[in-house]
Amino acid sequence: MSFAAVDVIRAKRDGGELGDEQIDWVVDAYTRGHVADEQMSALAMAILLRGMTDREIARWTAAMIASGERLDLSQVSRPTVDKHSTGGVGDKITLPLTPLVAACGAAVPQLSGRGLGHTGGTLDKLESIPGWRAALSNEEFISQLRDVGAVICQAGTGLAPADRKLYALRDVTGTVEAIPLIASSIMSKKIAEGTGALVLDVKVGTGAFMKSVEDARELARTMVELGRAHGVDTVALLTDMNTPLGLTIGNAVEVQESLDVLAGGGPADVVELTLALAREMLSAAGLSDVDPADALHDGRAMDSWRAMIRAQGGDPDAPLPVANEIEQVRAERSGTVASVDALGLGLAAWRLGAGRARKEDPVSAAAGVVLHKRPGDRVAAGDVLYELRTDDPSRLPVARVDAASAVVVGDGPAPVRPLIIDRIG
């Protein structure tokens, strides 16, 4: 059955509920180029403003999945479980988490993306490693998953092509924040990749797409229900993204911090969230009796990392890029660090070259921000608060402006925020 795109737009604009056939048609027609970008932009804006029912979201997600192929991971003998983060600042958790969970007996088919704006991208970080490649064929993907147990790569062109086209459109039309479209975008790819279970890390705070706990909880609930409706055991953690994760924001600097975690060290918050997500993933995979902390401390997680990097052409022993220009920013007064704003420092790292404004833009492997202090730390006047790193000194002035008010030094104790806010599912 065929529809007129303008009728579908009007129906949602006026607060109506789209029928199954309308949804199937508009997703398929847009993927094949029969619905114009400006028409899909109007529909996406109508969805942002009017919302969707659970039934509409479920059907939209199914249509996105149906636009491409669905991988069959039955050749993999281990239980499969994946993780997805909705994006944040300093969020390098995928890097230590994937090999850690693989070291504990599960297989992790981690399809990841690139950064845009102030949120970093896992693939950009890993491309700091000489020789490492993000693009794998389906055959390479399944073979590595079977042999190594851990894969981090970009999604193939055959998986949910409707999402790839629609996401690029949403990014330039101010509709990224629409919860129905976020949920269907994430879940269509994760379901299509064929994983048996999924753990979601839904970020909330200044550095996240979801600014309120209520919106984050609604997104998490929607995605958990979508996963379960498609036979994927799904749970979600709501985690704080008001403060950057760890001490590094960028690409190579986040890889180095991930290596510190895999070696049994690293910042406490990165270790805490890595282990919390690992335990959720192992429980979903039927391996709840395995303690992932043991694999961090006995070297198995690091061995898994090295095998994963080598399998994708990378050299795990190669030195990581270091920025040519490093500028230290010092405290003007003594006191206690009251807050470290994730958005301000994420924007500064982006300005320094660690992120991109358009999907076609290159990123700098060495650029970024390195924190020396976190909330609750005591500082004396003149102590280094953070470093701005870049290969292009002309980027420093605007980055200084973004970072200038991000680290606040006060007199009293810093408020204590839990890293893990809630669990859904």
Which sequence positions are flagged as catalytic? Answer: 84, 163, 170, 185, 189
- 57 exposure class (CB count in 10 Å sphere: 0-12, 13-18, 19+): buried
* DSSP line for 31-67: HTT-S-HHHHHHHHHHHHHH---HHHHHHHHHHHHHT
Tokens of 409: 């030094």
DSSP state of 350: I
Distances (CA, A) of 398 to 60, 252, 360: 41, 22, 22
Nearest to 334 by CA among 373, 371, 369: 373
Distance, in Å, from the CA atom of 126 to the CA atom of 41, rounded to the nearest integer, reads 32
Cα-only R_g, the chain = 21
Distance, in Å, from the CA atom of 78 to the CA atom of 194, rounded to the nearest integer, reads 13
Nearest to 254 by CA among 398, 99, 371: 371
DSSP state of 368: E
Nearest to 242 by CA among 261, 217, 269, 280: 269
Name residue 153's beta-bridge partners. 111
Place of tokens 């994430």: 186
The CA-CA-CA angle for residues 294, 296, 298, to 5°, reads 65
Nearest to 339 by CA among 416, 253, 421, 401: 416
The CA-CA-CA angle for residues 148, 154, 156, to 5°, reads 100
The CA-CA-CA angle for residues 334, 89, 153, to 5°, reads 150
How far is residue 104 CA from its own chain's centroid?
22
Query: What ranges in 313-395 are assigned the alpha helix state H?
Result: 342-349
Tokens of 225: 């229900």
Nearest to 207 by CA among 89, 106, 66, 364: 89
